[in-house]
């Protein structure tokens, strides 16, 4: 399932990489695209292995905010 998560607080390439790597490392995630200008993370994941909430928590643990689209 593909979902777009709005990420608040990303300011540079390091932020993008941090979000990208954290999401990519989750079991069940098959692809991640993070867009700094649009402040979004587009995640393709297997919802039987990981939930959208878990993915959002992962982003929040890095210190960024998430909002629903």
Residues found near Cu ion in the complex (CB under 5 A): 11-12, 14-15
Residue 49 CB, nearest distance to Cu ion (Å)?
A: 29
Closest among 52, 56, 55 to 66, alpha carbons compared:
56
Residue 1 CB, nearest distance to Cu ion (Å)?
A: 28
Q: How far is CA 19 from CA 31, 48, 53, in A?
A: 12, 22, 15
Residue 20 CB, nearest distance to Cu ion (Å)?
A: 12
Distance (Å, whole) CA 42 – CA 39: 10
DSSP secondary structure code for residue 61 in this structure = H
Beta carbon nearer to Cu ion, 14 or 69? 14
Beta carbon nearer to Cu ion, 3 or 20? 20
Beta carbon nearer to Cu ion, 44 or 60? 60
């Amino acid at each position: 399932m593909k979902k777009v998560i709005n990420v608040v607080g990303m300011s540079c390439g390091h932020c993008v990489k941090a979000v990208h790597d954290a999401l990519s490392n989750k079991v069940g995630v098959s692809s991640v695209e993070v867009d700094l200008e649009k402040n979004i993370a587009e995640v393709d994941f297997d919802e039987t292995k990981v939930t959208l909430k878990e993915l959002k928590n992962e982003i929040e643990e890095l210190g960024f905010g998430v909002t629903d689209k």
